[in-house]
Amino acid sequence: MNRPAALDLVEPLDRQTLGGRAYAQLSDLLISGRMAPGEKISLRQAAEVLGVSIMPVREAVSRLVADGALEVTPNRAVRVRLMTAAQFRDLTQARIAIEGHVAALAAGNRNDDDLKAIARAEAAMRSESRAAKPNLPRAVELNKSFHFAVYEAAHSATLVDIIRALWLKAGPVINLDLRANPERLAKGDAVRFHARVLAAIKAGDEAGAREGVAADISNAAEVILSRGGLAE
């Protein structure tokens, strides 16, 4: 019996699974802001850490390059993408539009479990910001956790996937800013905006949720741009 031609396009299941896992792990590092723009990635070291061969890592890196999260330098090194101020402004406007919209949906669609998850994430970020010596990498992770708790409450898998794609590019820049400027965490702007968003979602206030997320994103972007640390 002849094999359908379409099956020739299907990769072995174990290879797909390993490549997908490597992609998910590396994506999480970027989205969570645990890697900075310009930071190089060794495929061999990544494979050792993930416990896989180099092939799934190479596939994952290729996907992330296509996503615009990683880039290949002229000497073939792989690094976290550098972003210009103009690119960052464009990314910020896209985030405000999409993430603000999804926060508004969350205010209308959230259930009790969603509210509990958002409240836990808000409390964890607030607690970390008030610590005598805040753990900055953890603070970046907690910031991401709060935002995605809000977005998951919209109950739109498609929109959350779009936001994840935006955060693949935004996460490293946010991380770079907090690493260099820990006083921004102590100042508490993000915590205040998060509290506003939580209150709006609890009240079912769609406009308030949208405005709170937009203000959080735009405030952080203004600080980052004022520092002048982005690529020319």
148 and 185 both lie in a single domain: yes
What pLDDT shows up at residue 109?
98
Q: Which of 80, 112, 132 is the endpoint of a domain?
A: 80
Cβ atoms of residues 201 and 109 within 8 Å: no
Which pLDDT tens digit goes with each residue over 69-87? 999 999 999 999 999 999 9
CATH number at residue 95: 1.20.120.530
- Tens digits of residue pLDDT in 158-208: 999 999 999 999 998 887 766 666 777 777 888 999 999 999 999 999 999
10 has a pLDDT exceeding 50: no
pLDDT at 87: 94
**Residue 190 forms part of a structural domain:** yes
Q: What is the per-residue pLDDT for 223?
A: 85
Instruction: Indicate whether 4 pLDDT > 50.
Output: no
Count of structural domains within the chain: 2
Does 13 map to a domain? no
On whether residue 176 sits in a domain, the answer given is yes
Domain span at 128: 85-226
Domain boundary, last residue among 65, 80, 95: 80
Number of neighbouring beta carbons within 10 Å of residue 166:
16
Tens-digit pLDDT profile for residues 90-124: 999 999 999 999 999 999 999 999 999 999 999 99
Confidence at residue 189, expressed as pLDDT on a 0 to 100 scale: 86
230: left (phi over 0), alpha (psi -120 to 50) or beta: beta
Same domain, 33 and 138: no
- What is the predicted pLDDT for the residue at 65? 96
Q: In this structure, is residue 209 part of a structural domain?
A: yes
Q: Are residues 137 and 189 in the same domain?
A: yes
At 150 the pLDDT is 98
118 & 189 share domain: yes
Domain-embedded: residue 4: no
Mean local confidence (pLDDT), 11-28: 79
Residue 13: pLDDT over 50: no
Look at residues 129, 146, 144, 153 and name the one whose alpha carbon lies nearest to residue 30.
144
Token pair in block for residue 4: 């359908």
Distance in angstroms (rounded) separating the CA atoms of residues 2 and 10: 16
CATH label of the domain that carries residue 23: 1.10.10.10
8 vs 213: which has the higher pLDDT: 213
Q: What is the pTM of this model?
A: 0.87
Residue 1 lies in a domain: no
Domain boundary among 80, 97, 116: 80
Look over the chain and give the mean of its residue pLDDT values, rounded to a whole number: 89
Name the percent of the chain lying above pLDDT 90: 63
Residue 12 lies in a domain: no
